[in-house]
Amino acid sequence: MAKVTIDGIEIEVPDGTTILNAARMIGGKIVPPAMCYYTKLKQTGGYCRTCLVKVVQGSTKDPRPMPKLVVSCSTTVQDGMVVQNITSPEVLEARKGVVEFLLINHPLDCPICDQAGECKLQDLGYDHGLQKTRYEFKRRTFEMKDIGSKIKLHMTRCILCYRCVRVAEQLTDKRVHGVMNRGDVAEISTYIHNIIENDFSGNVIDVCPVGALTDKTFRFRSRVWYTKPMDAHRDCKKCCGKVVLWMKGDEVLRVSARKDKNEEVEEFICNECRFEKKKKEDWVIEKPTHIDRHSVISANHYEVEKPLKLGVGSQPPKPLDTSKE
């Protein structure tokens, strides 16, 4: 076990834990943002650079600070390490610069993007972004592509986080898409316009942090904050069958995998559950999905955990005295 201090809060974590996951164990605002790292995937992280932190003390044995900011998603803690995240002006300034780079080519089409309300880049832009860009050149643009019967690729929005590539490598038998070309012309694509067709291809939609990969069956049907997300399950031979139904009345508009407190998929689901089971009768509905209060999706979203009861010693309201009227 190793003791690490992050923004003045000390925690003891197992050896080999990264700074990012140690911060997640503490929780709250000190958790660095992560656009490319994904706990369920192997060899992930280190691309987006949004999780940069400052190590002001390497360890108890070697208290020297690290000379540069480090990515918290791939840097393991050492016993006695002291880390600064939101308490470091240097980190906040660097993160502001990273967000500016991510937004250089990203179109500001949030009003028509299906990812609006669930987009991590929106949150980053709000917390660290500038009101205007200093970039004077033309943004790069790509034509939208169908990379399967159910998946739409809008490469103009992509930030090259590699999550969808890692999902395809680790969940499917044969990956047919990846990063083509280099530099400012690099793009997620398939070779000679192959299509992605396998039982778990829809998971690339859930892991995409922006609106680059979207569900064609849900595109432009509704804003997520107008829907009612419900936890549901069914007996499925291919996957766990545990999903979130995004409903409007009794109509199921979208099916997605359940996500944890870090907004990462808990268990990946198959395409049959995601695309083919769009009737309420196909599912056993459990309860309303828990939505963090910082999200716009929580608007008009209610969860009843326990019925209200009068506490011990409390008194019911007294009736109005109308005798003096």
Q: How far apart are CA 110 and CA 147, in angstroms?
A: 22
Q: What is the pLDDT of residue 127?
A: 87
Q: What is the pLDDT of residue 258?
A: 95
Half-sphere exposure for 244 (CA within 13 Å, toward CB):
20
Q: What is the pLDDT of residue 99?
A: 92
Q: How far apart are CA 102 and CA 210, in angstroms?
A: 11
Q: What is the pLDDT of residue 195?
A: 60
Residue 135, classed as helix, strand or coil, is coil
Q: What is the pLDDT of residue 135?
A: 82
The per-residue DSSP string of 186-240 comes to -EEEEGGG----STTTTHHHHH-SSSSEEETTTTTT--GGGSEEEEEE---SSS-
Q: How far apart are CA 170 and CA 148, in angstroms?
A: 19
Token digits of residue 40: 């369920």
Q: How far apart are CA 67 and CA 180, in angstroms?
A: 34
Q: How far apart are CA 203 and CA 270, in angstroms?
A: 8
Tell me the mean pLDDT per 10 residues along the chain, length 325. 94 94 93 91 87 94 93 94 95 93 87 89 86 82 84 89 85 73 75 66 90 91 91 93 93 94 92 92 92 79 61 55 57
Amino acid (one-letter) located at 178: G
